[in-house]
Amino acid sequence: MNGARSATAVAHPNIALAKYWGKRAGEGNVPAVPSLSVTLAGMSTTTSVTFDETLVDDELVLGGAMAVGRPKARASELLDRVRAAAGIATRARVVSTNDFPTASGLASSASGFAALALASVRAAGLDWRADEVADLARRSSASAARSVFGGFVELDGGDGATGAARPVAAAHALDMRVLVCVTTEEAKATSSTDGMRATQATSPYWAAWLADAPQSHAAIRAALLAGDFARVGELAERSALAMHACAMAAGIVYFSPATIAALAEVRATRALGLPAYATIDAGPHLKCLVKAGDAAVVRGRLASVPGVLRILEATPGEGARVVTAEAP
């Protein structure tokens, strides 16, 4: 084995402004529609990977506890792809920590698999470009491909797409803050994978979503490149509601009373003339998009919404990066 045997990478969660929901048929975990997200600074996953000849099996330590079952199997699947590419059979020890609460509704799988992909590629001595690391991360969690890059990032999806992720605009392209309204400490009842599967199988609005989402993505991309915060926010809120409407028609409801109350507050704030917009992922937490200068006042309003437990504030930030790499 050449090069480093151990590497540590840091990655951040991302929030989709143009949502993806559903997978294209076939291999590679490619989304059914294109998406566009913002990578968030201020919340990090740090992951160390050490290939160790003395191990008989991969080991995964998540937040200080030894992981088994599905989380470990998913990490091993990614490590198997890296081992195949590097021509090695050595097992690895993976130690990963989040500095944000995993029940915050910030996709920890996105930052988690982006950090794991980058650390394991580097620890295996592979000199891969960021797009190759993103391709590896996407196979484990599609949204993780976007966290490999910083700023505003798109991920291809749909017929003929390869699922490539690429940066679209730098973090400073919009003077934006994301207010994450945490509404529960519990894990979500339906995983995004299961929710997508049910939606694709039974939602009467699936075809409408497939037809609308690419246009929505293109319009958000254009508004972003024009630096039009209000238009990005308006379209992002619409994309999230279209995704949830499609899922709800299949019986998949991620909203709680606090989600609706926070959405009403965002809209009441907007009616007062403050540009604030909502987006919601596969869970009950609402994320509010605001201009930096309005963040404090909007945060104060959302903090008083019944069911909002606390609010995390994030700025657009950097992509995944290696912080240490060591040869034996």
With contacts defined by CB under 6 A, name the span among 107-115, 116-124, 156-164, 225-233 that binds ligand PMV. Answer: 107-115
Site string for ligand PMV, 46-85 (x = CB under 6 A): ----------------------------------------
- The Cα 37–Cα 88 span in angstroms is 34
| The only residue of 62, 281, 288, 298 in contact with ligand PMV, by rule CB under 6 A | 281
Our CB check for ligand PMV shows the closer of 50 and 147 to be 147
- Assess 109 for contact with ligand PMV (CB under 6 A): yes
- The Cα 124–Cα 44 span in angstroms is 23
What tokens does 104 get?
């915050």
**Is the distance from CB of 83 to CB of 89 less than 8 angstroms?**
yes
- The Cα 37–Cα 1 span in angstroms is 36
Helix (H, G, I), strand (E, B) or coil at 269: helix
- Assess 107 for contact with ligand PMV (CB under 6 A): yes
Least distance (Å) from ligand PMV to the CB of residue 243?
7
- The single-letter DSSP state of residue 64 is T
Burial class (CB in 10 A: 0-12, 13-18, 19+), 321: middle
- Assess 192 for contact with ligand PMV (CB under 6 A): yes
Least distance (Å) from ligand PMV to the CB of residue 119?
19
Phi-psi region of 163 (alpha: psi -120 to 50; beta: other; left: phi over 0): left
Least distance (Å) from ligand PMV to the CB of residue 284?
12
- Assess 142 for contact with ligand PMV (CB under 6 A): yes
Site string for ligand PMV, 3-22 (x = CB under 6 A): -------------x--xx--
| The only residue of 39, 48, 104, 141 in contact with ligand PMV, by rule CB under 6 A | 141
Least distance (Å) from ligand PMV to the CB of residue 192?
4
- Concatenated DSSP letters of 279-291: EE-SSS-EEEEEE
- The Cα 30–Cα 9 span in angstroms is 24
| The only residue of 282, 286, 302, 305 in contact with ligand PMV, by rule CB under 6 A | 282
| The only residue of 6, 8, 35, 199 in contact with ligand PMV, by rule CB under 6 A | 35
Give the residue from 251, 283, 324 showing the smallest Cα distance to 109: 283
Q: Report the amino acid identity of residue 296.
A: A
Q: Which residue is it, tokens 């989304």?
A: 31
Q: Which residue is it, tokens 């994030």?
A: 314
- Assess 229 for contact with ligand PMV (CB under 6 A): no
Q: Give how many residues touch ligand PMV by CB under 6 A.
A: 14
Our CB check for ligand PMV shows the closer of 30 and 295 to be 30
- Widest CA span of the chain, in angstroms? 63
Neighbours of 124 (CB within 10 A): 25
- The Cα 320–Cα 182 span in angstroms is 24
Our CB check for ligand PMV shows the closer of 47 and 143 to be 143
Least distance (Å) from ligand PMV to the CB of residue 149?
14
The residues that bridge with 279 in the sheet, in sequence order, are 287
Our CB check for ligand PMV shows the closer of 19 and 83 to be 19
Least distance (Å) from ligand PMV to the CB of residue 14?
7
Our CB check for ligand PMV shows the closer of 59 and 234 to be 234
Helix (H, G, I), strand (E, B) or coil at 176: strand
Least distance (Å) from ligand PMV to the CB of residue 113?
9
Task: Name the residues that contact ligand PMV, by CB under 6 A.
Answer: 16, 19-20, 35, 107, 109-110, 141-143, 192-193, 281-282
